[in-house]
Amino acid sequence: MNITTDKAITINYTLKDDEGKLIDESKDSSFIYLHGHSNIIPGLEAALDNKTKGDKFELVLEPKDAYGEYNAAITQTISRSAFGEEKIEVGMQFHAEGDDGNPVLITISEINGDDVTIDGNPPLAGVTLNYSVEVIDVRDATKEELSHGHIHAQGESCGHNH
């Protein structure tokens, strides 16, 4: 069975940056997703198209095909007092409302005395993604999974009502 839209796909993968540092990996062959529903990064989804169980491949995604180039314009320095009494540290993340009204993930990238630099870039902006992928399983998605647009692992309910 080949990977096409509406199939449930299980993959093993490791994701490294250009220095070979591990960014992410699947655990115990448990990464499963619904193909063709933009549930994973588009470049990876496109590369998986028409692959089949047992296929292994390497994939390099340049930043423009992944999380975008790093945009220095969407960092800003604000006063420590903006956080009130909240304990903050570098690497902390929170959601703020973006210009389009959608939530944007903000990361505290630097704290220098009273100056706090916040960064609206995705954590992997500017990073070339080096995937190593193995297709573990391909199956038909259930009707319920298709109606929800995502996978219910092991037949469990996803815990939300649609």
User: Does residue 158 touch Zn ion according to CB under 5 A?
Assistant: yes
User: Does residue 141 touch Zn ion according to CB under 5 A?
Assistant: no
Site size toward Zn ion, by CB under 5 A: 2
Torsion sign across C-alpha atoms 18, 19, 22, 23: negative
Site string for Zn ion, 90-129 (x = CB under 5 A): ----------------------------------------
- Residues 155 and 145: their CA atoms lie apart, in Å, by 9
Q: How far is the CB of 150 from Zn ion (least distance, A)?
A: 6
Structure tokens at 88: 């903050």
Which of the ranges 43-51, 91-99, 122-130, 151-159 carries the binding residues for Zn ion, by CB under 5 A? 151-159
User: Does residue 153 touch Zn ion according to CB under 5 A?
Assistant: no
- Residues 120 and 106: their CA atoms lie apart, in Å, by 5
- Residues 108 and 120: their CA atoms lie apart, in Å, by 9
Q: How far is the CB of 144 from Zn ion (least distance, A)?
A: 7
Q: Which residues, other chains included, contact 141 with Cβ-Cβ below 8 Å and sequence gap of 6+?
A: 6, 7, 8, 34, 151
Chain positions contacting Zn ion, by CB under 5 A? 148, 158
